[in-house]
Amino acid sequence: MEQFIYKTRPDGLSVLNLQKINERLQLAVNLISNYAPEDIVVVSRRENAWKPAKMFGKETGAKVYAGRYPPGILTNPNLDNFIEAKVLIATDSWPDRNAIRDALNIGIPIIALCDTNNQTNNIDLVVPCNNKGKKSLGLIFYIFTKEYMKARGMIKSDKEFKAKLDDFVEE
């Protein structure tokens, strides 16, 4: 994550580079906009991301697993809840490692929201952000949702996007 850090304060807190965050958000939206909503899977073991991830799913039609990721749903076609995904979005690479491992096994692209303390091994596209903060996660998924819908032609402009930022942020 060193390439995404703007500076580290004397107290040890690393500050992310906003320009890099913006670049990565654009890359992520460009990548996921190539896929139909039913081909996108969002996983989040982290409770702070449940509401924003679910709103992303509600607005776009993507599949969302907030909470415990059901083992094998991407890799075992004999399961009743098996799904064929084409891209995975993980809100934190450590707690969502089982879903990332499954995505690696089937060879689909992996987008992960990563903080300065995350490992980025096996991640195809890292989106640097505070993946533990409610407001940060809400903002990231708000941007993902609005820009994805514009790129896919689901809405024509920002004015047509009816959801508000507060709809994505946990109280």
| pLDDT tens track for 56-68 | 999 999 999 999 9
**Would you say residue 5 has pLDDT above 90?**
no
State mean pLDDT over 141-156.
96
The pairing of beta strand 14-16 with beta strand 5-8 = antiparallel
46-83: b (≥16 Cβ within 10 Å) or e: bebbbbbbbbbbebbebebbbeebbeebbeeeeeeeee
- If one counts every other C-beta atom within 10 angstroms of the C-beta of residue 136, the result is 20
Give strand ranges (E) for the chain. Answer: 5-8, 14-16, 40-44, 63-66, 87-90, 110-114, 125-128
Mean pLDDT, the chain, rounded, equals 94
**Would you say residue 32 has pLDDT above 80?**
yes
Q: What local confidence, expressed as pLDDT, does residue 118 receive? A: 87
**Would you say residue 121 has pLDDT above 80?**
yes
Note whether 30 and 151 are within 8 A (CB): yes
Fold classified for 2-69+81-168: Rossmann fold (3.40.50)
> Looking at residue 131, what DSSP letter applies?
T
Share of the chain above pLDDT 70, in %: 100
Note whether 128 and 16 are within 8 A (CB): yes
Alpha carbons 90 and 94: distance in angstroms, whole number:
9
